[in-house]
Amino acid sequence: MTNEELWKAVLGEMELSLTRANFTTWFKNTSVLSKDKNAVVVSVPNGFIKEWLENKFNKRILESIRNQNPEIREVRYTIGRPKIELARRDFSNVLLEKELESESDSGADKDIDGATNLNKKYTFESFIVGSNNELAHAACLAVTKNLGKLYNPLFLYGGVGLGKTHLLQAIGNKVLGENSSKNILYISAEKFTSNITETIMNRTIEDLKSKYAQLDLLIIDDIQFIAGKEKTQEIVFSTFNELYGKNKQIVLSSDRPPQSIPTLEERLRSRFEGGMIADIGIPDFETRLAILKQKSREKNYDFNEETFVYIATHIQKNVRELEGALNRVGAFSQIYNRTPDTKEVKNILNTYLTTPYKKTSPQSILKAVADFYSISGGDLIKRSRKKEVVKPRQVAMFLLREETKLSFPEIGQKLGGRDHSTVIHACEKIKSEVSVDEPLKQELVLIKERVYNSFEK
């Protein structure tokens, strides 16, 4: 077996046990450099990866190598060839004549700095690290220490309210805190787009472009928003190349990975995938508890353990909601000037918790959907495009996404190995239809009733 074949087998195994983003992050540009009787030397692209493979993956990698070569006792990691740079593009050098305009929403929030759009409250110190965001957090921190040199761009993705903006802002705050002369801009893709529209109307697009071109760190939040917006994509692309060519750092966030953003130009997609991609998942119970306690410290709330446990048990999918619930309990204690007991906490959160939390499983959802639409479980998985099965299948995908912790690719897997983009499409379709289609809404309620009642037995 050649070194190449050996590593391919190892990668194959690792790929199965990791999300696509994590797999790419940790194993892109790795290879087996040499192999002797009892040791294998693996080449990795940089020190950051080296550390993570040594500390987090070594055991699994070794196991996997030993499946092929039982006599191997040790794996060593060494930093290999540097990354090939993107060709630098030429740009006309437009000088900045006007003063740089501020991005802020005219002081809407006193905590937000007008020049950078950074909000001081989002720091690494106030960010709780759990297994759901460990990689993303480490990548963000590493970027602040190697601005423009380690990962460019850094691309974070994950669901709503899971801490993307917090981490993006923390990067900006840390870089600015350590060097106040750095030129930093945090901007939402939505604002980015509206700025471009404005400058097109005012014929000042070149000013805007040269303003972006002078940044040391550009952070664009919710980049999926530029899907389908041609002019904006063009400016993102030229700004990207300009900054990248000068080793200036770009950080992006999205609710989904680059390959799942619809109507994103191929050239942008490949740029976005060219650095580091890290995902953020749903926090586990311990992390939720730690976040609640952290937020309570920030707000000077003083609740008992039972209250925290109650909230962390009942709100699971979204840190923003977790905070919202905490604030409600906080409001109660301010009004009545005392800490509520658990029964009161339950009452306060009752409206927040429209459906009480019950555990479910993918199987019970698939069964409930199939039963409800009088088709077989097999029909959901089959390739058929018949109308009678297409809609139930989309509903199943939607419910799996809403009611379980499965990722889009995992849902695709459960439904006969469909691509995750199909799943995303289905989820979005059902989500938008529910708001206008009353019968469909009712159907979903009924199916959910089946799911949770059957599970209780």
Per DSSP bridges, beta strands 217-221 and 184-188 are parallel
What distances in angstroms separate CA 124 from CA 12, 128, 154, 307, 320, one per listed residue? 34, 8, 16, 26, 17
Q: Give the x/- contact pattern for ligand ADP in 321-350, rule: CB under 6 A.
A: --x---------------------------
In the set 22, 165, 239, 307, which binds Mg ion (CB under 5 A)?
Answer: 165
In the set 217, 291, 292, 424, which binds ligand ADP (CB under 6 A)?
Answer: 291
Binding of residue 160 to ligand ADP (CB under 6 A): yes
Quote the distance between the C-alpha of residue 247 and its chain's center: 24
Contact indicator for 104, 117 with CB cutoff of 8 Å: yes
Q: Provide the minimum distance between the beta carbon of 6 and Mg ion in the complex, in angstroms, as a whole number.
A: 42
Q: Provide the minimum distance between the beta carbon of 379 and Mg ion in the complex, in angstroms, as a whole number.
A: 38
Binding of residue 286 to ligand ADP (CB under 6 A): no
Binding of residue 133 to Mg ion (CB under 5 A): no
Which CB atom, from 255 or from 371, has the smaller least distance to ligand ADP? 255
Partner whose binding site includes residue 294, from ligand ADP, Mg ion, none (CB under 5 to 8 Å by kind): ligand ADP
Which CB atom, from 36 or from 111, has the smaller least distance to ligand ADP? 111
In the set 27, 48, 77, 127, which binds ligand ADP (CB under 6 A)?
Answer: 127
Binding of residue 299 to ligand ADP (CB under 6 A): no
Which CB atom, from 170 or from 389, has the smaller least distance to ligand ADP? 170
Binding of residue 316 to ligand ADP (CB under 6 A): no
Contact indicator for 247, 217 with CB cutoff of 8 Å: no
- CA–CA dist 297, 386 (Å, integer): 55
Query: Left (φ > 0), alpha (ψ -120 to 50) or beta: where does 106 sit?
Result: left
What distances in angstroms separate CA 85 from CA 91, 152, 246, 274, one per listed residue? 17, 10, 11, 10
Which CB atom, from 99 or from 111, has the smaller least distance to ligand ADP? 111
Partner whose binding site includes residue 28, from Mg ion, ligand ADP, none (CB under 5 to 8 Å by kind): none
Which range in 165-173, 325-333, 338-346, 380-388 contacts Mg ion by CB under 5 A?
165-173
Which CB atom, from 48 or from 127, has the smaller least distance to ligand ADP? 127
- CA–CA dist 423, 407 (Å, integer): 10
Indicate the residue whose CB is closest to ligand ADP: 163
Binding of residue 119 to ligand ADP (CB under 6 A): no
Partner whose binding site includes residue 60, from Mg ion, ligand ADP, none (CB under 5 to 8 Å by kind): none
DSSP string, 192-216: HHHHHHHHHHHT-HHHHHHHHHT-S
Residue linked to tokens 């983009």: 421
Q: Give the x/- contact pattern for ligand ADP in 161-200, rule: CB under 6 A.
A: xxxxxx----------------------------------
Sheet architecture: strand order including 217-221: 184-188, 217-221, 249-254, 154-158, 276-280
Which CB atom, from 163 or from 412, has the smaller least distance to ligand ADP? 163
Contact indicator for 17, 27 with CB cutoff of 8 Å: no
32 in helix, strand or coil?
strand
- CA–CA dist 35, 42 (Å, integer): 9
Per DSSP bridges, beta strands 184-188 and 154-158 are unpaired
Chain residues that interact with ligand ADP, rule: CB under 6 A: 126-128, 133, 158, 160-166, 291, 294, 319-320, 323
